[in-house]
Amino acid sequence: MAEERRFRSASGARIALRRRQHSASCRELAVRGPRLQLRSLSAATSAVWLAAYGLFALSENSMVLSAAIFITLIGLIIYLHFVKIDQESLLVIGSLGIQVTSSYASGKESTTFIEMGQVKDVVINEAIHMQKVIYYLCILLQDPEDPQGVSEVVPLFQSSKPRLDCLIEVYKSCQEILEQRKTAPQSS
């Protein structure tokens, strides 16, 4: 079963949270950011080409124009493949682990899987960034030597930066599954 709700990110952009329950112990939460707008793409391209045409008018060298086209293409490819994140999703499988996926605009997906044995807890932290206080969801990893200690903090949804209301929904969903591992009886 899938449901989708609209929220806003920390900078005011519209984002959508989609929740899917695959089974009793498996849930997928995906936050989709705003897509690449045609307006901003056209504006950037026009600015670069106007500047190139101005340089060409000054220097009478046609290499400037071809260089500008080349730069625009390469810049667009780099932006789509390495910078623009379309969707960030969290797949929580009780007793296996938590998988964090970022999908880029060019279709590339970068995934990290954290085993359940390493996960201590999932919490909402607050951070002071310039003049704002922003909330972010993070996974606390267990320190192997010290059972009470935290070895690493893995922040989630870093590029879409949802606000607290969206984070609370995600937090509740995660905690429902994480609690199952505490109440599950140990195998004999």
Judged by CB under 8 A, which stretch of 35-43, 74-82, 108-116, 127-135 contacts another protein? 108-116
Give the footprint of another protein on residues 112-151 (CB under 8 A).
112-113, 115, 117-118, 144, 151
Number of residues that bind another protein (CB under 8 A): 26
Q: Considering the rule CB under 8 A, would residue 25 count as an interface residue with another protein? A: yes
Q: Which residues contact 80 (CB under 8 A, 6 or more apart)?
A: 36, 104, 105, 106
3-state secondary structure of 182: helix
For another protein, the closer CB: 33 or 94: 94
Nearest-approach distance from CB 170 to another protein, in angstroms: 17
Return the exposure string of 62-72: e unless at least 16 CB atoms fall within 10 Å of the residue's CB, then b. eebeeebeeee
Measured from the Cβ of residue 139, the count of other Cβ atoms closer than 10 Å reads: 21
CA 99 to mean position of chain CA atoms = 12
- Residues of this chain that bind another protein (CB under 8 A): 22-26, 28, 91, 93-96, 99, 101, 111-113, 115, 117-118, 144, 151, 184-188
